[in-house]
Amino acid sequence: MSNPPNDCYRKSFNPEADRVLTADGVRITQGMRVWTNNLDHGTVDLSRAEYEWHGPEGRYVLWFDVNVDTTYKGAAVSQRDYLSHDRVAVNHPFTGRKA
């Protein structure tokens, strides 16, 4: 486990300059449709996005909100989940269907 550079455990996210990818390799942008790691889907909200240091991997991980509108069962919902970039994907992991 390692300490972050300058002991900075959190740092800001710049959506214009930073290139962060989903689990399936698509650049994360405001309002994009994604599947969550629970197979729910919704839209990305970067208004509270920030990086958090992940010591075991020795890297910063981007965390942001996803406004979930449909559960994995297809039911309509209105909830906000706080997820990391490696827990969302544009393409469904089993069917390849777009969110």
How far is residue 73's CA from residue 68's CA, in Å, rounded to a whole number?
Answer: 13
The per-residue pLDDT for 2 is 82
Q: How far apart are the first and last CA of the chain?
A: 35
Averaged pLDDT, 22-28: 97
Average pLDDT, the chain: 94
In the chain, where the domains are located: 5-88
Q: Which of 89, 69, 88, 85 is nearest to 77 (CA)?
A: 69
57 class by beta-carbon count within 10 Å (0-12 exposed, 13-18 middle, 19+ buried): exposed
pTM to 2 decimal places:
0.90
User: What is the DSSP code (8-state) at residue 24?
Assistant: T
Q: How confident is the model at residue 83 (pLDDT cuts 50, 70, 90)?
A: very high
The per-residue pLDDT for 3 is 87
How far is residue 75's CA from residue 2's CA, in Å, rounded to a whole number?
Answer: 42
Averaged pLDDT, 42-69: 96
